[in-house]
Structures are given as structure tokens and as C-alpha cells.
Amino acid sequence: MSYRDLAEHLATLAKTVADNPERLEGVPLAKAAEGLEKAAAKFEIKLKDFLGGRGPGIRELEEMLKSPHAKAHLPLPGLNIVCRSVFGSALSAEKLPAARKEFLEKVKNAQAGERAVALLQEFFFKAAQMPPPPADKVALQNELLRLGGLSDDELKFEFSSRLKAVSILKKLAQANSLPVSKGAKKGDLIDVITHYARRAYANIAHRA
């Protein structure tokens, strides 16, 4: 069943009733008509709401406030930031559910639905973006691969000269997401880097 089918059904039904108003009577039909009338009134409210009856953007805003984007990125301080952008001041509510309600009411009263939706879209877009990787990430990844292709002696040489500093080893490990603890010593770092460099080289080297 589609809404087009529903529209056709209702149109046919309406025509049948309109063609026979004088003939229709009796308790069973009256009860069914009353039920239909109530259901139609309920449906009409939902339909008007969906089609923007509470003002442009209000339904979209309501949906956005309960979307997974909101769940992930819109705690109370975030909502206050958005509210400040729309109204110049934060919300008075101190709990998130109440704050969402208050925000929605403020937007409805000010008929600022479209502006609030646009601001929230921008807010969610920025929130979904991950911080860019460090500028030298690719170079450090390639360095790991290169190290993996060195002999034991060559590696030893690199770790005693160019890659002597713990800070450089940590940077190399970090850029390649290697499992090192915060307090890792130089020897631990060298062991981890050696293991994962050899592994990466074996797994990928035919491309190099």
C-alpha cells in the first residue's frame, strides 16, 4: 500500500458517501463512521504536522534532535552553543531532555525552524569530521615499510643513529598505530617497531 493507493481509496470512498448521503443509516454503519471520523481527524493532525503545519523546519528540527547525530554530538553544552547562535543566549534548562524541549519551544515561538535546522546541519557536519592526520603520516608509514626491508644489521644501525631518540621512535609508532604503552622504554619501542615493520614489509613489500 502506498500513499497514492490510500489517496485513491479515500477518494473512491468519499465519492460513494457523497453519492448516497440520504440512504445511509443504521447503528453498525454509524459506529464505523464515527471510528473513521476519529481516525481521520488523528491522521489529519499528523499529516498537517508532517507537511509543515507547525512552521517551516519544525518537524525536521524535532527529528534532528532525536537523531543518532544528536545522540553522538549534541550534549547540553553543544545544544547551548547552537542556541546561542540562533538566539544569542544559552538555554535555562540544566538537563538535556528538558533543554531539547526548551530549545524546540523557543524555535517554534520565534518561527526560526529553518535557521535552526541549517545551524544544526552545519554543527553535525563538523562534528562528524575526524581531525586530519598529521602532515607527515604518509612519510612515517613509508618509513615503517622501508625499515621492514632492512637486514638485522642495517636496522641496528638505524636505531643507533637516525632513529636514536625515543621521541622519534614514539612518533613513528604513533603514526603507524602500533601498540605501545605511554611508559614504553626505548628497547620496547624498538621491539614493537621491528616486529610491525617486518610484518608490514612481508605483507605489502611486493608493491614497494
Partner 1 sequence: MGAKVVAFVNFKGGVGKTANVVNIGAGLAKYHGKRVLIVDLDAQSNSSLWLMQPPEWREHTRSLRKTVYQLFKDQIVGTHLFDMHRAIVRGLPRQRFSLIANLDLLPSAVEMITIEDQLRQIHGVASYTVLYRTLRPIMDAYDYIFLDCPPNLYSVTRNALLAAHYCVVPYIPDYLSLSGFEILVDYVNEFWHRMSGQFTARPKPQFAAFIINHFAKQRNVFETGVNEFELALNQIRPSGKIHPKAVCLKPFVRFNVHVAESTSEHLPVFLHKEDSIGAMDYADLTQNFLHHFESVL
- Toward partner 1, which CB reaches closer, 2 or 92? 2
Burial class (CB in 10 A: 0-12, 13-18, 19+), 13: exposed
Regarding 145 and contact with partner 1 (CB under 8 A), the answer is yes
Exposure class string for 152-167: b at 16+ Cβ within 10 A, else e? eeebeebbeeebeeee
Is residue 66 part of the contact set for partner 1 (CB under 8 A)?
A: yes
Name residues whose C-beta falls within 8 Å of residue 204's C-beta, 6 or more positions apart in sequence.
145
- Report in angstroms how near the CB of residue 88 gets to partner 1 at its nearest: 27
Provide, rounded to whole angstroms, the least separation between the CB of residue 207 and partner 1. 4
Which of 7, 36, 138, 166 binds partner 1 (CB under 8 A)? It is 138
d(CA 169, CA 160): 11
Interface positions, 150-179, toward partner 1 (CB under 8 A): 176-179
Question: Which of 130, 129, 109, 122 lies closest to 64, judged by CA?
Answer: 122
Report the interface residues with partner 1, using CB under 8 A: 1-3, 6, 66-69, 71-72, 124-125, 127-130, 138, 141-142, 144-145, 176-179, 196, 199-200, 203-204, 207-208
